[in-house]
Amino acid sequence: MLLRALFMPLALFPHLCLTQDFLAPVVDLDYALYQGYYNTTYDLNIYKGIRYAAPPIGKLRWQLPQPPAQNRSQVIPAIEYASRCPQSGCAPRQMTPVPSGSEDCLFLNVLAPANKTMLPVLVWIHGGGYGVSSGAFEPSPQMHTNENTYIIVTIQYRLGAFGFLSSAELAESGVPNAGIHDMQFALQWVQKYIHLFGGDPTQVTIAGQSAGGGSVALLGMADGGVDNTTLEYNSTMPTNYYYRFAEAAGCLPDDSKPDGSVFQCLTEADTIELQEASDYISTTGLYGQWAFIPVTDGKLLRGRPSSQLLNDGELNGIRILSSNNPNEAPGFIPQGIDNEDRFRGFLFGNYPLLSEENITSILTVYFVPENSSSILVNSDGEHPPYSMTNSGWASGWQQAATNLYAETTFICPSYWLADGYARKQDGKAWHYQFSVPPGQHGLDQTALRSDIDVMGTGMDEVFRTAIQQIWGNFIVRGDPALSKSQTRALHHGNITAVSDGKWPEWKGEPGHDWMVNLNMTGGVPTSTTFNLDGTSVQVISYVPGNSTSSQPLEAIFKVVEGSSWEGGRGERCRLWADLGPWIMA
């Protein structure tokens, strides 16, 4: 491990009252020297706010990320998170107060077990619709659960219009997908420098949730193809957003600047005006979505997806562990979809290129019978009522729309990626569903990041430990199954489905797409109120109860077949793959 045994004068850390015992070694990155701090609880050297690229401001806006400038005059404290990137919300949420961040935001954080070398590395890409959030991710409990056997790097990338503005004009002078280029640049930084922190650059796993998971998919298909809902860089929707953004920023040509370049004006505009414009355009767009997202650009992301692309295995990397939750979409669609006409309106609003023939095909698999039950109950995935008509959040046509959006946006892409790596030469894939009620988008992260049930949803220690070890095993040895010793240590609960030799790979073939359903059983029901589109929705989850009056909470994991899951999800995913060219404008 090439760490220089240098220590920074305490005077530069006065507000933390750090002593030499609590300082991490100084790391010489050749362009700068950084010193983090030592976390005694988890035995980690933590470095926050390490610059990995030059500030993407002025003429560097919407350009490829550039190396940092030399700054070796002093040791830089790496003890606090850097500024997050400017935030751009989704519609119809309230606008973010501006300034919401700094354009100078291309920083990363490293959490490295102390006194270890040649460790595998996990690079975490945060979610947030490519518009919000930051790299301030705290994974220390997960690392501790896995006995500090790997390093974690969390990264930031340009968001909103700063990272994903696109049009033909922008492509002439800049680069679409600047945020994805930032991610690639951060991965190159890891290849060059992670050995200084005790990491092995030949063993790198990338991971993320929501848009972070989508980013993993995009990086896996970079220089080849993209996911099902990615737009062409110069198509109607991104071009419209480009000029709306320019107008809001005061950069459309007028009598005072009739010959001025829109793009040049944007590179010279005040950051506050740009932040306000980015957030305004994004929060006034299509319900539940962000305006500025990745596009196919013909270079980094070269073409629309197809089953042929995935079948041919044109993917980066070797193996994948993909997952989904059962109720991914309640917060992404409007309420009040209570009949077939409104369901059709929802489809046309989200996918305006769909034909009547397409709609007929969709209704064939998403139709809600008149006698459909209105009970709120989560599907068990294997028996009716399935998630097409019922969940713990909604029923009828509202649930049909919710499940449709979940499958097109989150679940089917996770299936397709598993398909791609399963069919790739020397590739392997595993898949699981995180089914703990209420099962909404992002709930799985609470189990992965914490050693307590922070959301009060009834995930016991066995469940949390098992899922954290599943991830740790995949990072360290490329196989998520629990070892015999890990399974024996977790003696409570029915978790043998994820033990070594019991968890079959996803094969990418209907009837052989094996996955594991991760759930809890027992407990007592408790009601939680969520606000959806101005409507209060009561959702049931389960918490520990009095053992004399209720069954104890217990983890229950089961191997199931993914294609037949939820009444034939594989068939619906194949339909959406076929409809890919009509999904976005």
Amino acid present at 569: R
> Looking at residue 110, what is its pLDDT?
98
> Looking at residue 390, what is its pLDDT?
97
Q: Could you give the CA distance from residue 261 to residue 564 in angstroms, rounded to a whole number?
A: 54
Whether the pTM exceeds 0.85: the reply is yes
Amino acid present at 69: A
Q: Sign of dihedral through CA atoms 323, 325, 331, 333?
A: positive
Q: Distances in Å between the alpha carbon of 565 and those of 288, 381, 528, 574?
A: 26, 5, 27, 14
Q: Distances in Å between the alpha carbon of 57 and those of 200, 249, 497?
A: 32, 16, 50
Q: Could you give the CA distance from residue 496 to residue 481 in angstroms, rounded to a whole number?
A: 10
Place of tokens 């980013």: 215
At residue 29, φ and ψ (nearest 5 deg) are -95, 10
The contacts of residue 333 (CB under 8 Å, 6+ apart) are 287, 288, 346, 401, 402, 405
Instruction: Assign 3-class secondary structure to 418-465.
Output: HHHHHHCCCCEEEEEEECCCCCECCCHHHHHHCCCCCCCCCCCHHHHH
Q: How many C-alpha atoms does 403 have within 13 Å on its Cβ side?
A: 31
> Looking at residue 300, what is its pLDDT?
83
Please list the alpha-helical segments (H only) found in 327-433: 340-350, 356-366, 396-406, 412-423
CB 518 within 8 A of CB 432: yes
Q: Distances in Å between the alpha carbon of 333 and those of 56, 194, 442?
A: 34, 41, 16
> Looking at residue 18, what is its pLDDT?
59
Q: Could you give the CA distance from residue 319 to residue 205 in angstroms, rounded to a whole number?
A: 9
The pLDDT tens digits along the chain (585 residues) read 232 223 333 333 334 555 555 999 999 999 999 999 999 999 999 999 999 999 999 999 999 999 999 999 999 999 999 999 999 999 887 788 899 999 999 999 999 999 999 999 999 999 999 999 999 988 999 999 999 999 999 999 999 999 999 999 999 999 999 999 999 999 999 999 999 999 999 999 999 999 999 999 999 988 765 444 567 777 888 999 999 999 999 999 875 655 568 999 999 999 999 999 999 999 998 898 999 999 988 888 875 544 434 556 578 999 999 999 999 999 999 999 999 999 999 999 999 999 999 999 999 999 999 999 999 999 999 999 999 999 999 999 999 999 999 999 999 999 999 999 999 989 999 999 999 999 999 999 999 987 776 666 789 999 999 999 999 999 999 999 999 999 999 988 899 999 999 999 999 999 999 999 999 999 888 888 988 888 888 898 888 876 666 788 999 999 999 999 999 999 999 999 889 888 764
Superfamily of domain 10-296: Alpha/Beta hydrolase fold, catalytic domain (3.40.50.1820)
Domain layout of the chain by residue ranges: 10-296, 307-313+320-583
> Looking at residue 503, what is its pLDDT?
97
